[in-house]
Structure 1
Amino acid sequence: MTATADDDHVDVIGMWVTADGHIRQELLPDGRYDEARGERRSAYTGRYTVTGSHVDYVDDTGFTATGDIRDGVLHHEHLVLYREAKSS
């Protein structure tokens, strides 16, 4: 399953950002992600899947990583990312 939300999967689609704003990870509806680091746009890109509140990442070079959503916060390896509020 990719990024769609249902009874068994947490909705992860949207922009996630570290508290200092240095790392911005956008989880797209098509199961792709795009991560910026500081001024470096698209520093990492790849695909992700969601199982429950667990996220598995495979970047375009083949590197893998994991994350978990706990209390609305994305814990991605050593990073802590917060969902960016959508502007209305």
Structure 2
Amino acid sequence: MEETKEYIGMWVTADGFIKHELLPNNRYDEARGNRKSAYQGRYTVKANHIDYTDDTGFTADGEFREGILYHAGMVLYKKAD
């Protein structure tokens, strides 16, 4: 849990279309446009690498670099609390 603490919160693409919330219980909720909870599942973080498994079994990964989340071809920025 301590390893993921700095990453918990809302991550958003520059255009605001994708909102990717990393929850403290190692679950995530991703909205796309007006579609809330388009994808939901669990995540694990090791160092700056994140692995996702959505509730349908689909997997993806990403990397945190210099405060930016690079995930599945997207670039997401952490929204201020």
TM-score after normalising by structure 2: 0.95
Q: Is the Cα–Cα contact under 8 Å of residues 34 and 42 in structure 1 kept in the other structure?
A: yes
Structure 1 residue ranges without an equivalent (≥5): none
Aligned residue for 2:12?
Answer: 17
TM-score after normalising by structure 1: 0.88
- Does 1:54 find its partner at 2:46? no
User: CA offsets per residue over residues 44-71 of structure 1, 9 Å max, x none?
Assistant: 0000000000000000000000000000
CA RMSD of aligned residues (A): 1.2
Structure 2 residue ranges without an equivalent (≥5): none
For 2:20, give the aligned amino acid: Q
For 1:24, give the aligned amino acid: K
Higher alpha-carbon Rg: 1
- Does 1:38 find its partner at 2:33? yes
Identity of aligned residues (%): 60
Q: Which has the higher helix share?
A: 2
